[in-house]
C-alpha cells in the first residue's frame, strides 16, 4: 500500500495540482485531499485510482527497503530515448515552445 506522504510527494514531483490529480483519476477533490491526509477508509477504489494515475504520469512507488533503513519512497520512471526532447543545437523559432 502507498502512503499519504508518497501521494503528496509524487504529485509535487510531477507538478500536478490536487485538482488536476482529482480530475485525471476521476475522483472528487475532497477524496484526493483525504487520501493525502492518510484517510484511506473512504472509497476502496480511490487509492488504486490515484496510484494508477500517478504511475501513468511516470511515478514509481518504492516500498520500504529490506536491506537498509530506507522507508517508502517515490521516483520518476527512466525516460526512453524517444522522450529526450529536442537537443539544444536543434532548437529554432519553429520548435521553441
Burial of 77 (C-beta count, 10 Å sphere; 0-12/13-18/19+)? exposed
Tens-digit pLDDT profile for residues 38-96: 988 777 799 999 999 999 999 999 987 666 677 888 989 886 655 556 666 677 777 66
Q: Is 39 helix (H, G, I), strand (E, B) or coil?
A: coil
pLDDT tens track for 21-43: 999 999 999 999 999 999 887 77
Distance CA 51, CA 84 (A): 25
From CA 49, how far away is CA 32, in angstroms rounded?
A: 10
pTM, two decimal places: 0.74
E strand or H helix at 18, and its extent? helix 18-25
Ordered domains of the chain (ranges, CATH): 4-83 (1.10.260.40)
Amino acid at each position: 500500500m502507498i502512503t499519504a506522504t508518497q501521494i503528496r510527494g509524487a504529485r509535487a514531483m510531477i507538478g500536478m495540482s490536487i485538482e488536476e490529480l482529482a480530475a485525471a483519476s476521476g475522483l472528487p477533490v475532497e477524496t484526493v485531499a483525504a487520501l493525502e491526509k492518510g484517510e484511506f477508509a473512504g472509497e476502496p477504489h480511490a487509492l488504486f485510482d490515484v496510484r494508477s494515475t500517478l504511475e501513468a504520469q511516470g511515478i514509481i512507488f518504492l516500498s520500504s527497503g529490506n536491506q537498509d533503513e530506507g522507508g517508502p519512497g517515490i521516483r520518476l520512471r527512466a525516460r526512453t530515448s524517444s522522450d529526450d526532447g529536442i537537443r539544444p543545437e536543434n532548437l529554432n523559432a519553429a520548435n521553441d515552445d
